[in-house]
Amino acid sequence: MENIRSLDPARPGDISAITEIYGHHVLYGRASFETEPPTLAEMTGRIDNLLAGGYPVLVAEHDGTVLGYAYAGPHKARNGYRLTVEDSIYVHPDASRRGIGRALLQALIISAREKGYRQMMAVIGDSGNTPSIELHRAHGFCHIGTARKIGFKFGKFLDVVYMQLDLDEQ
């Protein structure tokens, strides 16, 4: 997917589209264990905090329309984890299966390496989320564990799959 750029908070349409995309995944998907979509103000704060922390935030767009976004944020708050990031990728439901997630993850890995991060973690909601698991595997992530029935959403207990990429390895 072409036209991936760094998120520029000066373009308010990006945050609005990001909020809409994420809200859909909160309401209908199992990738996020949030149950109420965040408001535009909440998402603006989240993105602003990531950018202020120097974390990569990317948007995939085509003809001015945001089709997906990805970011690498802190894996844990403790200082000892400062060189490890956790990725998040969300694609507009009408744009799925078009290579957008793949392009975003590839660009996110490159950006995280350039920023000096050493490890990238994928914390994937729902062990049945095969597309996300396979996307990460295709980019070199290794499965390191599954936490069984750790989240509860849509009246069901869900697993979390943990995958890891060593950013030092090419």
Count each helix (H run) and each strand (E run) in the chain, helices first: 4, 7
Element (H, E) at 48: helix 40-52
**pLDDT tier for residue 7 given thresholds of 50, 70 and 90:** very low
pLDDT digits (tens, 9 = 90+) for 13-57: 789 999 999 999 999 999 999 999 999 999 999 998 998 999 999
Q: What is the CATH number of the domain that holds 67?
A: 3.40.630.30
pLDDT digits (tens, 9 = 90+) for 116-143: 999 999 999 999 999 999 999 999 999 9
Element (H, E) at 142: strand 142-153
Neighbours of 122 (CB within 10 A): 24
pLDDT at 165 > cutoff 60: yes
The mean per-residue pLDDT over the stretch 77-94 comes to 96
Assign 3-class secondary structure to 59-73: EEEECCEEEEEEEEE
In this prediction, residue 12 carries a pLDDT of 52
Number of domains in the chain: 1
In which domain, by residue range, is 101 found?
Answer: 4-166
- Percentage above 90 pLDDT, the chain: 80
Report which of 54, 77, 67 is spatially closest to residue 3, judged by C-alpha positions.
67
